[in-house]
Chain A
Amino acid sequence: MARVAKRPPNVPQSEFRSTQRLLSELVAHLRESRTQLREEWARRITEAKLLTAMSNEEIFAEATSVYDNYVEALETGTFEALQAYARNLSERIIPRGVETHEVIGIVLLLRDVLARSLFAKYQADFSLLNRILDAYEPAANRIAITVAVGFVQERERVIREQQEAIRVLSTPVLQVRERLLILPIIGVIDPQRARQLTEQLLRGIRTNRAKVVVIDITGVPVMDENVANHLVQTVEAARLLGATVIITGLSPEIAQTLVTIGVDLGKMNTVGDLQGGIEEAERALGYKVVDISESVAPA
């Protein structure tokens, strides 16, 4: 049973009805010719050397699903099912190494295959052909975009997840001595990473019962106001957990940024380099730094 599309508010009733009639005719034709059009499409995909990561059986199976979803979208004028299918398909094929141009390519090939079959069928009546194409083209374009965007969004989601994993791995909180943590930060920090650093550090303070934390930013080339604020917040939050923060490796540029945002560097505990920072921390913890070469007394 055919499902009915909803008339857009700006389209007059008569025009809409005639478009609907044309689309119904179109959909009926596409359903009738399903087998041969699908084969034609699969053939073109292989010819264009797309989806090489998949076997012929797989291509055919997916081709069938895409075809059916495509025709259904044309019929109902709704794209939810297609979107869901596109997402699902993307989830499956991205790990197989299928790329964006392949996905767009196959959808456009299907569009061509269907269009050609329309030309073949309605070639006798040019004006009818035109009207059918008028109905077909916008919908077909919409479908192509829906599938492509669905694929791209899924890819972006995967990339985000991977970035998150990298972020977690690249911000180690090191326990160097009892009650002393070191957090060496390397590379550019974006607000997301800064936030995560703070969370990891605070949890580390609690777990390790740290009293002093040395945050080394020697490896941070630039810092904008947002991130500098984040650094200040980290120091404040650490204090709430009873830990003192020593910042080492402060470049003149970053010092300037901190001053610009109104940080009283006098209040912030900063030491030139990491080595100095660790020594300062040890002093604060009550460790004495002894030069052992001195204690080896001559005979």
Chain B
Amino acid sequence: MEVPILKQGAYLIASVQSALSDADLVQLRDAVVERVGKLRSRGVIIDVTALDVMDSFATRTLRDIAHMIRLRGADTVIVGIQPEVAFALVQLGLKLEGVATALDLEEGIAFLDRKAKTQAKETRSRGR
């Protein structure tokens, strides 16, 4: 099942619609990374509201996506992790270390906006 990826201004929004197999996750990763490069996006929001299970592979892949996107100079934020899924993740001992998370799409966009603002400020002060 392919995950739809939409462009919203400088950001990409990937909304997972249903359970993803390992192959789906890998496809998502490749698609997002390719799009970020092509469209020069500044941020990616991955909405996992529809995921009822996030296991070690899903977590690893999401981490990889954030990593690869960072290498292209963009930020990633994962949104919509369900309370029960968050509970299972921490019980499993998995950490989404180094990956930003937010409650939902609205918060995710707010996060990216804040980040963009801080970065713009830094660049301006450095340029002086």
Contacts and interface: CB of A to CB of B under 8 A. Distances in A.
Nearest to A198: B87
Interface of A: 198-199, 202-203, 205-206, 209, 211, 233-234, 236-243
A241 B89 contact: no
B102 A242 contact: yes
Interface stretch (B10-18, B68-76, B78-86): B78-86
Interface stretch (B36-44, B90-98, B118-126): B90-98
A242 B103 contact: yes
Contacts, number: 50
B107 interface: yes
B83 A205 contact: yes
A187 B21 CA distance: 44
B107 A242 contact: yes
B103 A233 contact: no
Contacts of B107: 209, 211, 242
B101 A237 contact: no
Contacts of A203: 83
A234 B87 CA distance: 8
B4 to A, nearest CB: 22
Contact of B87 (A199, A211, A242, A243): A199
A241 B101 contact: yes
Nearest to A206: B83
Contact of A240 (B91, B96, B111): B96
A108 B45 CA distance: 70
27 contacts: A198-B87, A199-B83, A199-B84, A199-B87, A202-B83, A203-B83, A205-B83, A205-B103, A206-B83, A211-B107, A233-B91, A234-B90, A236-B95, A237-B83, A237-B86, A237-B90, A238-B86, A240-B89, A240-B101, A241-B81, A241-B103, A242-B79, A242-B101, A242-B102, A242-B103, A242-B107, A242-B111
Q: Which of A203, A209, A234, A242 has the most CB of B within 10 A?
A: A242
Q: When A and B form their complex, which 7 residue pairs have the shortest distance between CB atoms, in order from nearest?
A: A202-B83, A242-B102, A242-B103, A240-B86, A233-B90, A237-B86, A237-B90
A175 to B, nearest CB: 15
B65 to A, nearest CB: 16
Given A202-B83, A206-B83, A237 B103 contact: no
Contact of B90 (A209, A236, A242, A243): A236
A241 B95 contact: no
Nearest to B93: A233
A241 B83 contact: yes
B14 to A, nearest CB: 17
A239 B79 CA distance: 11
A203 B86 CA distance: 10
Contacts of B96: 240
Contacts of A233: 90-91
